[in-house]
Structure 1
Amino acid sequence: MESNSNTKLAVLIDADNAQPSIIEGLLAEIAKYGTANVKRIYGDWTSTKLRSWKDHLLQFSLQPIQQFGYTSGKNATDSAMIIDAMDLLYTERFDGFCIVSSDSDFTKLATRIRESGLMVYGFGEKKTPDPFVAACDKFIFTEVLRSEEEPDKEATFRRMSTIELKQDTKLVNLMRNAIEASSDENGWAHLGQVGSYIAKQSPEFDPRNYGYRKLGELVQAIKLFEIEERSTGQGHAAVIYVKDKRK
């Protein structure tokens, strides 16, 4: 998806459920979808648990929102984020929201925002419950956003081999269905349209989850599909088309 500087986004970060090592990659990822007009991060800033976040507040212009934990075992941060999100929604100044958390408590919030016709981009760890993931238009696992200086080696997505990719039935079926739905009478489908179809069917899909930077690289690695580059002429970049080899 191309960056659109006119798309106004509200970024709400749950500091209790996000790691500081993702912040640079997170903001770079958000820039692909629009401009972060609001960047708020929620937590109990009197607690030593958030000490590692404090160094990043000024550097990345994050507005800290103080939320005391009034009751042991209860996450007051969630409530504060949800209330703020609804207040921002009612201003009608935004085109979308970025919710950064691995907590399923934001499932209903994501659903409500989408019901208002706005985009919802979710960011969370691989452990994020499926209902929250499914409630977003797009969901990015934060393991792919960690800085090289502080990688989470146990969680980072490694590059899967062709054999492993072929054995991933869900992935192969997702690709085949997307190509089928986007193809012309000869079975060829524009890679961009294939990507758009997949995004609608599977919000959490991302080539980086399999260790590949781009969708084209992933399709090529699976080796079940033909790939063809077609020149559009007039100095424009070639357009990539794909086709199921079974056709």
Structure 2
Amino acid sequence: MATKSSHSNQQKHLAVLVDADNAQASIVEALFEEIAKYGIASVKRMYGDWTGPQLGGWKKLMLEHSIQPIQQFAYTKGKNATDSSLIIDAMDLLYTRRFDGFCLVSSDSDFTRLAGRLREEGMTVYGFGEEKTPKPFVAACDKFIYTEILRSQDVAESAVQGEKAQAGPSEEAGKQPTAPSSSRPAKVPVEFIAKILDDIAEEDGWAPLAMLGTTISKLRPAFDSRLYGHTKLSGLIRSQAKYFDLETRGASPTGGAVLYVRNKNRTSDHQAR
């Protein structure tokens, strides 16, 4: 039997549990693409009352993505039996010790304690929900991804494909995918990033970009560069050249470049002393 330590250097094995009552079927493609960044979706289950018409949009998608539907009848009106079923399954899966993490797909704060309990057992918890998701559930996860980001990616990709179909080869060259006009990037939290840099930087003011990203995620699980119009943290930092310096140094053990970032204001403060 494989233990957690035996595959620690491999991709993480994840259990994906979807609250169909509180998730949109339109995100499913982008959802599993996003989950693939963090590991392998070894278990995919979706909970809801499949006898009613309200979950009709999910039925075809479940077959396409090999998601196991879990039937939960609404025994009492106004009571959410789906939540209880998902929580019980999550604990059963936890005690098999076959997983490295869980993906909880819901905008319901009822899963806040579940997320916390899973983390107490050393699991990594990835949350997926709409921007209306209550903050306690967001904070209880290691990483929280707003599904509006996933939907906007799908819209942007569809728009790009449509443009390619209409444009000739010469027109396609040099064109970059753009976000849908309806999605306006949020204001970059420069002061928040600068404060973290001041805390983690070496004496010379520089800090590895990877360390910055890890620290930000610990403090704000919902932080995502895509909210600010950038696919990666490095792009976000480059866009704020007025406040931060970014440079490449040497190479990582895997052969890739190592990026370092510095708070310009902190540098000027030290020089003034």
Q: TM bucket by the smaller chain?
A: 0.7 to 0.9
Q: 1:199 aligns with which of 202, 217, 234?
A: 217
Q: Quote the residue 2:185 is aligned against.
A: 159
The one-letter code matched in structure 2 to 1:54 is K
Pairwise CA RMSD of aligned residues? 2.3
Unaligned runs of 5+ in 2: 1-8, 160-178, 268-273
Q: Provide, for residues 91-119 of structure 1, a one-character-per-residue CA deviation record: whole Å limited to 9, x for no partner.
A: 11111111000000000101111111111
When structure 1 is superposed on structure 2, of 232-241 and 128-137 the one drifting more is: 232-241
Indicate conservation of the 8 Å contact 2:252/2:258, yes or no: no
> Kindly, what percent of the aligned residue pairs are identical?
56
Q: Quote the residue 1:245 is aligned against.
A: 264
Q: Quote the residue 2:170 is aligned against.
A: none
Distance 1:239 1:232 in 2: 5
The one-letter code matched in structure 1 to 2:62 is L
Counting matched residue pairs gives 234
Q: Quote the residue 1:217 is aligned against.
A: 235
Distance 1:46 1:233 in 2: 53
1:61-72 alignment to 2 at 5 Å?
61-72=66-77
Q: 2:246 aligns with which of 221, 227, 240?
A: 227
Q: Helix, strand or coil for the counterpart of 2:251? A: coil
Q: 1:74 aligns with which of 79, 98, 102?
A: 79
Indicate conservation of the 8 Å contact 1:44/1:68, yes or no: yes
1:37-52 alignment to 2 at 5 Å?
37-52=42-57
Length-normalised TM-score, structure 1: 0.88
Q: Helix, strand or coil for the counterpart of 1:98? A: strand
The one-letter code matched in structure 2 to 1:125 is E
Q: Quote the residue 1:189 is aligned against.
A: 207
Indicate conservation of the 8 Å contact 2:105/2:129, yes or no: yes
Distance 1:235 1:183 in 2: 23
Indicate conservation of the 8 Å contact 1:182/1:190, yes or no: no
Q: Provide, for residues 212-233 of structure 1, a one-character-per-residue CA deviation record: whole Å limited to 9, x for no partner.
A: 1110111122331111122439
Instruction: Choose 1 or 2 for highest CA Rg.
Output: 2
Deviating beyond 6 angstroms after TM superposition, the runs of 4 or more aligned structure 1 residues are none
Unaligned runs of 5+ in 1: 166-170
